[in-house]
C-alpha cells in the first residue's frame, strides 16, 4: 500500500453537504471522493492542456454541450 | 516514486513446484525492456508459426498488437492510472494497467467508482492458448488480485470492471465476474463486472488454493 500523508481541509457547510451526499451516493468514503476528484481533475486538465475539449452528450437527444474549464 | 513489492507464489507447470515471484505496483523500465527484448520476439515466433500453418488472423492471440511502452507513456504521471507487474525467475511474467475514473454498470453498483482493468497480459510463454504448455501458472490471477486489492484500498470495496478479449471470456466467468454482454461502444467486446460480494468470494477462493 502506498504511504499516505494527512492534511486538514476546511470546507463550508454547503461543500460539506455535497461531500456527504456524494460519499453516500457513490458508496465511497469522503476521503475517496476527494481523491477521485483530484484524479479526474488532473486527467481532464491534462487532456485540455493538449488541446482536447470536454463534451457532455445527452444519450437521448445526442445533443452535445462543452464544459469550459478555467 | 516508491514501488510496493509483495511476495507471491506462482506454479511451475512442468515440475508442479511453487515459484517465488514479486508483485510490483508499477510498470518500470525493466518491465518495458523485458517486453521489448523477450515478450515481443517470443510472440513473433508464435505469430510466424500461426501464419505458416495458415491459422486465420481472428484466431491469433488477440493482444498481439499491444504496445506496453506506448500504453504506459500515454498515462505517465496521471493519478488515475496505475500499473502492476509480476516478476519471477528474473523476468517479467505479466503486466496490467488499470484506470480509476470509471464507474459501475451492474444494477447494484451503477455509477459507483470501480477499478477498471484497461489491459492485462501474461508473458507469451505463460499463455496456454499460444500452443506450448505454459511455464508458470497464476500470473493472471495475481494481477486480478492486485486490481481488487487496489479497489479495496481506494475505498471502492473490491468493485472491478473490464472489457474482455474473446479468448479470456471464460476465465472472467470462471472467477465469478458478471457478464454484462457485448458492448457496441467498445469493439463489441464483452463487458464484465465484479461486485463487492464477488470480490470477497474471489479472495476466499484464492485463499483456499
- State pLDDT tens for residues A24-35: 999 999 999 999
**For residue A25, what are the domain limits?**
13-67
Total domains in the fold of chain A: 1
- Phi, psi (deg, nearest 5) at residue B120: -145, 125
Name which of B16, B147, B15, B19 is nearest B7 in CA terms.
B19
Is the CB of A28 less than 8 angstroms away from the CB of B2?
A: no
Cβ neighbors of B55 (< 8 A, separation 6 or more) are none
Residue A55 lies in a domain: yes
Residue A63 lies in a domain: yes
pLDDT attached to residue B172: 96
Give the burial string for B106-141 (b: 16+ CB within 10 Å, else e): beebeebbbbbbbbbbbbbbbbeebeeebbbbbbbb
Distance CA(A68)–CA(B198), nearest Å, equals 39
**How many angstroms separate the CA of residue A12 from the nearest CA in chain B?**
24
Question: Helices (DSSP H) in chain B: which residue ranges?
Answer: 29-34, 40-52, 68-74, 139-153, 169-174, 196-208
**Domain segments of chain B as ranges:** 5-208
Using left for φ > 0, alpha for ψ between -120 and 50, and beta otherwise, residue B2 falls in beta
Residue A7 lies in a domain: no
pLDDT attached to residue B183: 97
Interchain contact B155–A (C-beta under 8 A) = yes
Name the grid cell of A70.
Answer: 478555467
Q: What is the mean pLDDT of chain A?
A: 91
pLDDT attached to residue A38: 97
Positions in chain B whose pLDDT score sits under 70:
1, 209
Residue of A nearest to B26 (CA): A2
**Site of grid cell 488454493:** B209
Quickly count helices (H) and strands (E) in chain B.
6, 9
Segment holding A66, helix H or strand E? strand A64-67
Is the CB of A40 less than 8 angstroms away from the CB of B78?
A: no
Nearest to B80 among A1, A31, A43 (CB): A43
Distance CA(B127)–CA(B43), nearest Å, equals 10
Q: What residues 11-30 of chain A have any CB closer than 8 A to a CB of chain B? A: 25-29
- Phi, psi (deg, nearest 5) at residue B34: -60, -45
Residue A49 lies in a domain: yes
Residue A61 lies in a domain: yes
Distance CA(B87)–CA(B92), nearest Å, equals 4
The tens digit of pLDDT for each residue in A37-70 reads 999 999 999 999 999 988 888 888 988 888 776 6
B165 and B119 Cβ atoms separated by less than 8 Å: no
CATH H superfamily, domain B5-208: Gcn5-related N-acetyltransferase (GNAT) (3.40.630.30)
- ipTM above 0.90 for this complex: no
Segment holding B34, helix H or strand E? helix B29-34
The tens digit of pLDDT for each residue in B182-203 reads 999 999 999 999 999 999 999 9
Name which of B44, B146, B41, B135 is nearest B93 in CA terms.
B135
Amino acid at each position: 500500500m502506498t504511504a499516505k500523508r494527512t492534511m486538514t481541509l476546511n470546507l463550508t457547510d454547503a461543500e460539506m453537504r455535497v461531500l456527504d451526499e456524494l460519499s453516500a451516493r457513490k458508496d465511497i468514503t469522503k476521503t475517496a471522493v476527494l481523491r477521485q476528484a483530484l484524479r479526474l481533475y488532473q486527467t481532464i486538465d491534462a487532456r485540455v492542456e493538449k488541446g482536447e475539449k470536454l463534451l457532455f452528450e445527452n444519450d437521448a437527444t445526442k445533443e452535445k454541450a462543452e464544459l469550459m474549464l478555467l | 516514486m516508491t514501488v510496493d513489492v509483495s511476495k507471491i507464489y506462482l506454479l511451475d507447470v512442468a515440475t508442479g513446484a511453487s515459484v517465488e515471484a514479486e508483485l510490483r505496483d508499477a510498470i518500470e523500465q525493466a518491465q518495458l525492456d523485458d517486453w521489448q527484448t523477450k515478450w515481443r520476439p517470443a510472440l513473433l515466433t508464435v505469430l510466424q508459426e500461426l501464419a505458416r500453418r495458415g491459422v486465420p488472423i481472428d484466431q491469433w492471440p488477440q493482444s498481439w498488437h499491444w504496445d506496453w511502452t506506448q500504453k504506459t507513456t500515454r498515462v505517465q504521471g496521471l493519478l488515475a492510472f496505475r500499473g502492476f507487474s509480476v516478476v519471477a525467475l528474473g523476468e517479467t511474467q505479466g503486466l496490467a494497467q488499470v484506470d480509476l475514473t470509471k464507474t459501475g454498470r451492474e444494477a447494484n453498483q451503477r455509477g459507483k467508482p470501480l477499478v477498471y482493468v484497461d489491459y492485462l497480459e501474461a508473458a507469451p510463454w505463460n499463455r496456454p492458448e499460444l500452443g506450448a504448455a505454459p511455464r508458470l501458472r497464476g500470473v493472471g490471477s495475481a494481477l486480478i488480485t492486485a486490481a481488487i486489492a487496489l479497489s479495496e484500498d481506494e475505498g471502492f470495496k473490491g468493485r472491478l470492471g473490464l472489457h474482455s478479449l474473446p479468448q479470456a471470456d471464460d476465465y472472467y466467468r470462471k472467477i465469478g465476474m458478471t457478464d454484462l454482454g457485448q458492448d457496441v461502444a467498445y469493439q463489441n467486446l464483452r463487458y464484465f463486472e465484479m461486485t463487492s460480494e464477488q470480490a470477497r468470494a474471489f479472495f476466499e477462493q484464492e485463499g483456499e488454493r
